[in-house]
Structure 1
Amino acid sequence: MTDDRRTHVVDDAHPAAQDEPPDPRRWRALAVCLVAGFMTLLDVSIVNVALPSIQQGVGASPSDLQWIVSGYALAFGLTLVGAGRVGDIVGRRPVFIAGVVLFGAASLACGLASSSAVLVVARLVQGAAGGILNPQVSGLIQQMFSGRERGRAFGMLGATIGISTAVGPIVGGLIINALGPDAGWRWIFFVNLPIAVVAVILARRWLPAPRRARSARLDLDPVGVVLLGGTVLALLLPLVETGRGSGPSGSRSGAIPWWVAMIGLVLAAAFIAWERSYTRRGRSPLVDLDLFRVPGYSPGATVGLIYFGGFTGIFFVLTIYFQDALGYSPLLAGLAVTPFAAGSAVAAAIGGYLVGRFGRLLVTAGLTTVLVGLVVVDLVLAHVSGPQLGWALLVPLLVAGLGSGLVISPNVTLTLAAVPVKRAGTAGGLLQTGQRIGTAAGIALIGAVYFAVSATHDSTRGAVWALRVAAGLVAVALLASGLDLRSRRRQPQPTRDDEDEAAGDATGDGEGVATGP
C-alpha cells in the first residue's frame, strides 16, 4: 500500500534524449522486432490451409474450427491497447520479451493439443500474446528512429507484413505436404518455437533497456481497460463469427446477433466519457484522447480502418473462390493470391524511403493504384473463367499489391509521426485495434455479399460483387486520404532546414519526435 505499489516508469521524454546519438544497435534491434512480428502475423494465415487436417486430427467441429481462426484475431485485438499502455509505462523491452515467451508457450500448447477445446484455448492465448508483442514493435520504432530513418523502418515493417501474408498459406501447404496431415498441422505451430527462443535471446542483447527515471504510481486505469475490452469484444465478436462462419446460405445457427455490436457502441461512448473524467481528475488514462488532436493521427487512423476493411476481403473471397469454384488446392489458391502480397511487400519497402518526400500524396497514389488494379480484376473475371483464371489475375493483383504497399506502412508512418514517444505504444495499439475492427467488419461484409450472391446466381458473380464492395471501401479510404492531403496542403509547410527543429517541437514538450512531411 506504500512504496511497493510504485514502480519506475520509462522516461522516453527525458530532455537529454534529444542530445544522445542514435543507438548503434537500432537496426539489429529492428531485425529482432520484425522477426517476432513476422511470427505472429504468419500465424494469422498459415492456419487456414491446415483446418481440414486439424478437423481430422482432433475431431474439431465447424464451430471449433471457426474459433481456432477467429479466436486468434479476437484475442489479438483485445490486448493491443492495454499492452501498448503497459509498454509505455514499464518499458517496451520487457513487455516485448514477455509477449514472445507467451507466444512460444502457446504455440507449443497448440502443437501438443489432444482435443479441440485445448487447441481453441491455446489459440486464444497465442492471439493475446501477439497483441502484447505487436504494439511494442511500433513503439520501439518510434523510440529508436526519427526522420527519414523512421520511414525506412516502418517500410521494412510493412514489407514484413506483406511477406508474412504471402508465405503463410504456402508454408502451411508445404509443411503439411512434407509431413502429412497428421503431423503437419502440429508443426505449423512448432516452427514458432526456435524463432521465439532466438528472438528472446537477441531482444535481451539488442533492444534498448527502459530508461528509468522518477518513480510514479503505476496507473493502468482498470475501469478504462474493462470498458475498452468490452467495446472491442462486442464490436468484433459478431463480426468475426459472421465473417468466418458464413456459408452459402449466408446464415448460421448460433451466430452472435448483430445487436451485440450496438452494445459495443454504447460501451465506446461510456469509455470516452470515463477517459475524459479520469483525465480531469489528474489521473493517467488508458487512452489519452488528446491523441486524436495530434496532427495526422485521426485521418490516418480513419484511412487505416477503412482500407483494412477493403483489402483483407480480397484474400478472403479469392481463396474461397479459387477452391470452391475452380477446384484449386489450398496451396494453389495461396499461390494464386501471392502476387498481391508479394507486390505489397516490395512496395512497402520502397514506400518507406519515399514517404519522407511525398507524405500523404504517396498514400493517396497507392490507394488509387489499388483501385485501378481491382477494376482490372473485375474486367478479367467478366471475360476469363476456368483454371487459367489464376494466371490471368497475376498482373492486376500485382498492380493492386504494389499500390497496397504504398498505403499501409507509409500511412502508419504519417499517422504516428507527431505522436509523443512516451505514448507511442498506446497510439500504435489503438491504431492496430482499429485495423483489426476494420478487417473483421470488411471480411464479414464482403463474405456475406459473396455467399449471398453465389447462392442466388453463381460463384463467379458472387466474387465479382464481393470484390466490387472491396473496391468501394478502398474508394472511401481514397476519399479520406484525399481530404487529409488537401488539409495538409492548406497548412504552412516547414522548410527542409526547419525539419530537425520541428521534430523537437512537434508535441510542444521537446521529445524529439519527427513530425514527418
Structure 2
Amino acid sequence: MTTTAPSAPPEAADRRRWIALAIVLTASFMDLVDATIVNIAIPSIRRDTGASFTALQWVTAAYALAFAIGLITGGRLGDIFGRKKLFLLGMGGFTLASALCGFAASPGMLIGARVVQGAMAALMVPQVLAIIHVSFPAHERGKVFGMFGAVIGLGAVCGPLIGALLTEGDLFGLAWRPIFLINLPVGLAGILLGRRFITESRAAGALRLDLVGTALATVGLLMVLYPLTQGREAGWPVWGFVSMAASPLVLAVFVRYERAKARKDGSPLVELSLFRVRTFAAGSGVQLTFGAVNGLFFLIWTLHMQLGLGWSPLHAGLTGVPFSVACSAAAGLSVQKLVPRFGRRVLQAGALIMLSGALLYIGVAGHYGTALVSWQMVPAMVLMGVGMGLIVAPITDSVLSEVPAEHSGSASGIFNTTGQLGMALGLGLSSVAFFGAVGDPDGAGAAPGAPFVAATTNALWWVAGGLVLVFGLLFLLPRRARTRGAAAPAADGRAAAETGTEAGTETGREQPALV
C-alpha cells in the first residue's frame, strides 16, 4: 500500500515537493557526471597509479556493468521497501564509494570501488522517476520531466568539462582524485535534505525479487566480458575462449529459469514474452549495439586526444563541447518537430549522419596524424553529436510503442539495462579494437605518438561497422510510434497510474528526454 507523509498546509506541501525535486535532480546529475567524468581523467589515473590499459578498461566497464545488472532489481527493491529509503541508501552508498574511489591506493582498489559505485547507482537512479511520479500530479509532470531532460543534457555537457577542470587543476596535489571526492559534499547534503523533504512511497503490488536470475545473468555476462577485457594482457589464453564459448550455455540456463519463475510467481527478472514483440526485440538489438558503439567511441576518443595528440585534459574537454551541444540540440528537435512528422526515418538519418561523422573522423585522423588540431576535428564531432541526438531521444518511445501497457515498466527497465550492457561490451571490445592495435603499451608509453593515432582509426572502423548494423536494425521498428496511452484506457485512472509508477521505477537514463 502506498505510504504518504503526514498532511501539511498546501504551501508547505508544495515547497516540500519542489525541494524533493531539486534533490533527486541533483542525484541524477551526480550520477550522469560520474559516468562521463572518468574518461577524461584516464591518462592521469594511469600516470599516477601505474595502472595497465586493461585495468583502465575495468575502471570504466565495472561501473557500467554493475549499474546494468542491478538496475531492474534496484527498482523492485524501491517498490517493495520504499523509494525514499532505497534512494537514500543508494545515495549514501554512492557517496561512500566515491570516497573510496578518491582515496584508492591501487588500481585494484579503484576498480572495486567503481563496482560498488555502480551498484549503488542502480539503487538510487531507478527511484528518481518514481519519486517524481508520486510527488507531482499528472498536469505538472510535463514541466517537471522537461526540467529532468534539461538536467540530463547539462550532465552530458558538464561531465567532461568538470573532469578536465578538476584533473588539470590538480587541487591540493590530488591529480585526478577530486573527480570522485567532489561527490562527498553533494551526497551528504542530498542525504540530509532527502530525509526531511522526500515523501516515502511504495508500489501497491510490487513484483518479487529474482536473486537467482540476477546471479545467473551476472555469471553469464562476466564469462564474456572478463576474458574479452583481460584476454589481450594475458596473451589470449585458452581458458578465455572456453569461458566465452560456455557463456551462451549459462545464459540458456538463465532463460529456462526465467520461464519457470514466470509460471511460478509471475515475477521474473526479465519478462521474456516481450521479445516476441518484433519491435521490442529489434529495438533491444539497436540499444545493445548503439551502447557498444558509444562505450567504445567515448573511451578511444579521449585516449586519442590525450595520448595520441598530447592534449591536456582541459583542451580535450573543450573540444568535446561542440559534440555535446549538437547532441542536445538535435535531441530536442527530434522529439518536438521531426519524429512526429517523419517517424522512423529520423532515427535512420541519425545513424547515417553519425556514420558520416565517424568516417570523416577517420579521414582527418589519418591525414593529419599527430598534427591534428581541434578545429579540424569539430566538423566530425558535430556530425556525430547531431546523429546521436536524433537517435537517443526518440528511440525508447519507438521501441516501446507496441509493448502491451501492462508490461511497459518491465520493458522500459529491460531496454535501458540493455543499453548499459552494450556500453560495458563496447568498453570490453576496446581491448581488441584499440589497445590491440597500439601494440605493446609499455613500449608505447603514455607519450603522444603515432601508435595511438593508428589505434584510433582502427577502432573507429569498428564504430562505423556498429553504426551500419544499427541502421539496418532500425528498419524493423515501426514507421511511426503508436500512442501507448490510447491502448490502455482505465475507467478510474488507477491502472494507468500504476503502470506509470512501474515504468518510472525501472527506467534508466534515457527515458526523461522522451517525455
- Same topology, TM > 0.5: yes
- Match of residue 219 from structure 2: 230
Q: Greater CA deviation, 172-181 or 52-61?
A: 52-61
- Match of residue 444 from structure 2: none
Q: Does the 8 Å CA contact 1:159/1:349 hold for their aligned counterparts?
A: no
| Cα displacement (A) at 1:67 | 4.0
Q: Is 1:400 equivalent to 2:384 in the alignment?
A: yes
| Cα displacement (A) at 1:355 | 7.4
Q: Does the 8 Å CA contact 1:84/1:425 hold for their aligned counterparts?
A: no
TM-score, normalising length from structure 1? Answer: 0.77
Q: What are the ranges of 5 or more consecutive residues in structure 2 without an aligned counterpart?
A: 5-13, 441-449, 504-513
Q: Greater CA deviation, 160-169 or 82-91?
A: 160-169
Percentage of identical aligned residues:
34
| Cα displacement (A) at 1:238 | 3.1
Q: Does the 8 Å CA contact 2:65/2:421 hold for their aligned counterparts?
A: no
Map residues 354-365 of structure 1 onto 2, 5 A cutoff.
354=337, 357-358=340-341, 359-365=343-349
| Cα displacement (A) at 1:235 | 3.3
Map residues 364-375 of structure 1 onto 2, 5 A cutoff.
364-375=348-359
The code of the aligned residue for 1:41 comes to L
Q: Does the 8 Å CA contact 2:57/2:428 hold for their aligned counterparts?
A: no
The code of the aligned residue for 1:104 comes to T
Q: Does the 8 Å CA contact 1:26/1:206 hold for their aligned counterparts?
A: yes
Cα deviation digits, residues 351-410 of structure 1 (max 9, x gap): 443477255443333223222322333343354444443211202211220221121132
Q: Does the 8 Å CA contact 2:299/2:427 hold for their aligned counterparts?
A: yes
- Match of residue 135 from structure 1: 126
Cα deviation digits, residues 108-159 of structure 1 (max 9, x gap): 2333445555444322211211222233345567778999998887776666
- Match of residue 380 from structure 1: 364
Q: Is 1:441 equivalent to 2:425 in the alignment?
A: yes
What is the rounded CA distance, in whole Å, between the counterparts of 1:381 and 1:24 in structure 2?
A: 53
Q: Is 1:485 equivalent to 2:478 in the alignment?
A: yes
| Cα displacement (A) at 1:305 | 1.0
Q: Greater CA deviation, 172-181 or 421-430?
A: 421-430
What is the rounded CA distance, in whole Å, between the counterparts of 1:372 and 1:61 in structure 2?
A: 33
Q: Does the 8 Å CA contact 1:366/1:406 hold for their aligned counterparts?
A: yes
**SS of alignment partner, residue 177 of structure 2:** helix
**SS of alignment partner, residue 393 of structure 1:** helix
| Cα displacement (A) at 1:105 | 1.5
TM-score, normalising length from structure 2? Answer: 0.77
| Cα displacement (A) at 1:274 | 0.9
Partner of residue 102 from structure 1, selected from 90, 93, 98? 93
Given the superposition, is the C-alpha separation of residues 155 and 270 from structure 1 closer, same or farther in structure 2, using an over 3 Å criterion?
Answer: farther
| Cα displacement (A) at 1:335 | 2.9
Given the superposition, is the C-alpha separation of residues 34 and 234 from structure 1 closer, same or farther in structure 2, using an over 3 Å criterion?
Answer: farther
Partner of residue 339 from structure 1, selected from 322, 340, 344? 322
Q: Does the 8 Å CA contact 2:282/2:473 hold for their aligned counterparts?
A: yes
Map residues 197-276 of structure 1 onto 2, 5 A cutoff.
197-201=188-192, 203=194, 209-211=200-202, 213=204, 219-241=208-230, 252=235, 257-276=240-259
| Cα displacement (A) at 1:223 | 2.1
- Match of residue 19 from structure 1: none
What is the rounded CA distance, in whole Å, between the counterparts of 1:379 and 1:117 in structure 2?
A: 37
What is the rounded CA distance, in whole Å, between the counterparts of 1:309 and 1:113 in structure 2?
A: 28
- Match of residue 328 from structure 1: 311
Given the superposition, is the C-alpha separation of residues 485 and 477 from structure 1 closer, same or farther in structure 2, using an over 3 Å criterion?
Answer: same
What is the rounded CA distance, in whole Å, between the counterparts of 2:356 and 2:165 in structure 1?
A: 33
The code of the aligned residue for 1:482 comes to F
Q: What are the ranges of 5 or more consecutive residues in structure 1 without an aligned counterpart?
A: 1-7, 12-22
Query: What is the root-mean-square deviation of aligned Cα atoms in Å?
Result: 4.2
- Match of residue 14 from structure 1: none
**SS of alignment partner, residue 175 of structure 1:** helix
Cα deviation digits, residues 264-313 of structure 1 (max 9, x gap): 32222111111111222244222222333568533332211111222332
Q: Greater CA deviation, 38-47 or 409-418?
A: 409-418
Cα deviation digits, residues 11-61 of structure 1 (max 9, x gap): 9xxxxxxxxxxx998887665444322212322332344445555666766
Map residues 450-489 of structure 1 onto 2, 5 A cutoff.
450-453=434-437, 459-486=452-479
Q: Does the 8 Å CA contact 1:42/1:165 hold for their aligned counterparts?
A: yes
What is the rounded CA distance, in whole Å, between the counterparts of 1:445 and 1:116 in structure 2?
A: 20
- Match of residue 18 from structure 1: none
Given the superposition, is the C-alpha separation of residues 252 and 385 from structure 1 closer, same or farther in structure 2, using an over 3 Å criterion?
Answer: same
| Cα displacement (A) at 1:473 | 0.9
Cα deviation digits, residues 227-251 of structure 1 (max 9, x gap): 1222233233334446xxx68xxx7
What is the rounded CA distance, in whole Å, between the counterparts of 1:275 and 1:255 in structure 2?
A: 31
What is the rounded CA distance, in whole Å, between the counterparts of 1:261 and 1:151 in structure 2?
A: 45
Q: Does the 8 Å CA contact 1:78/1:233 hold for their aligned counterparts?
A: no
Given the superposition, is the C-alpha separation of residues 443 and 114 from structure 1 closer, same or farther in structure 2, using an over 3 Å criterion?
Answer: closer
What is the rounded CA distance, in whole Å, between the counterparts of 2:285 and 2:57 in structure 1?
A: 28
Given the superposition, is the C-alpha separation of residues 479 and 49 from structure 1 closer, same or farther in structure 2, using an over 3 Å criterion?
Answer: closer
